[in-house]
Amino acid sequence: MISAFVISFIISSFAYRKGSLTGPGALTAFVLGYGTFASPSYVPTAILLFFFFTSSKLTRVGKKRKETLEELESQSHGRDPVQVLCNGLVGTVCAMVYSRQLVNILSQASLPQSPQGLVTLSADPVISISWWGMLGHYCCCCADTWASELGILSPDPPRIITTLAHAPPGTNGAVSSMGLVASVGAGLSLGLVVLGVGWTEGSLTIPNPLAFVLMCGSLGLLGSLVDSVLGATVQATYQRNDRITHGPGKGAKLIMGHALLSNNQTDMLRHNLSLTRLPRIASGLSMSTKASQTGHRPFVNLEPIGAALGRSVLLSGLPTDVHPMDVHELLQDYDVAQGIEPWLVPLSLVKGSPYHRFVVKLTDSQEAERVVQRFHQWKWVNLPQKHRNSRSTSTPVLTAELLY
């Protein structure tokens, strides 16, 4: 939590000193940043930092040429709280919901798991919607920024997306080849960042990395196209002294669109569309997690346990990065645990099979290294007699939780 406070303070202060944010805008950005950075996973932090630093860098690319093409009106005074909220509120809410649900899932081990010990996060609708909503939001934000900052420098004249007519660079609703390539590149780059950070911290596993990265590129392109359609239809573009301006004023004439929504309202509408539609588009991709820092105690959720070959308790999918000496509690055979009663807690019903959690004190640190790599049927050696007599003839699936 302290690191989230510090990072958010540094970022908002930097943006304020640079003139990108007003004082109230910087305070609003600090609150939104803290809500994103205070996560058990580094993925939301990496996403927001990637967006911030790339946007700041691209704003300075071709600055002199941009000044000859469009007026820098309100942005020269910095973004105010309304602009910050319109651009960051949706992503922050998604990040906070995802982080909270992730902590709940990892502390309860209540989702299905794979033989490799991976918790299938996409099986939880809250996780799926919030995670893809967060990613889709920032894919759209990055794509819009990259396309706007680089597309205006395109040597080819842009075209209005609805009519394909030529338009001056910087016109709302106009797209260029460079801008479209930039929007795809923004999504692809963000996807690679998410994959890299998730793999490094061991918190995220994507079964098909290539499909995931391509999906992020598609989200970036789709978000940019949606923004262009809105800009060409419900947002007005004005021209004054042969330079594009996005607000009416003395000497400005309307050259494109209708003044139905302001730029802030267009941004908010686009982000809401990313929250409601993009998660559904990406729902075919599954994602899993192996371990994550909850901020208090790390949790490693492991897949079904079985007892076979005598008294040995077999544990499938023990992560290789878990050192036996770091384990304080480990599921073990009742006799090996030297009489320590195992803790059996029913958690939920998944497809008719009761999920439970077993935790037994670890007495031999080398036992963790000898955990068997294959899976066998559960023999109920650890269950009290009353449970043994009342159990069903079918073999339930049991899950274990490692606390260390």
For the chain, give the number of residues: 404
How far are the Cα atoms of 167, 177, 189, 241, 292 from residue 63, in angstroms, in the given order? 20, 20, 23, 18, 42
- Asked if 144 and 175 touch (Cβ cutoff 8 Å), the reply is no
Specify the pLDDT at position 106: 59
Q: What is the C-alpha separation between 189 and 47, in angstroms, rounded? A: 10
- Model's pTM, two decimal places? 0.64
Determine the pLDDT at residue 157: 83
Kindly report, residue by residue over 36-81, the tens digit of the pLDDT: 998 877 889 999 999 988 988 887 777 767 666 555 544 456 678 8
Q: What is the pLDDT of residues 250-306, one digit of tens each?
A: 666 766 667 777 776 777 776 666 655 555 555 445 454 443 333 322 222 333 222
Residues in the chain, pLDDT under 50:
73-75, 109-120, 283-284, 286, 288-404
Q: Is the dihedral of CA 11, 16, 19, 21 positive or negative?
A: positive
Structure tokens at 50: 């990637």
Locus of tokens 């196209």: 225
pLDDT of residue 69: 57
**Rg of the Cα atoms in the chain:** 26
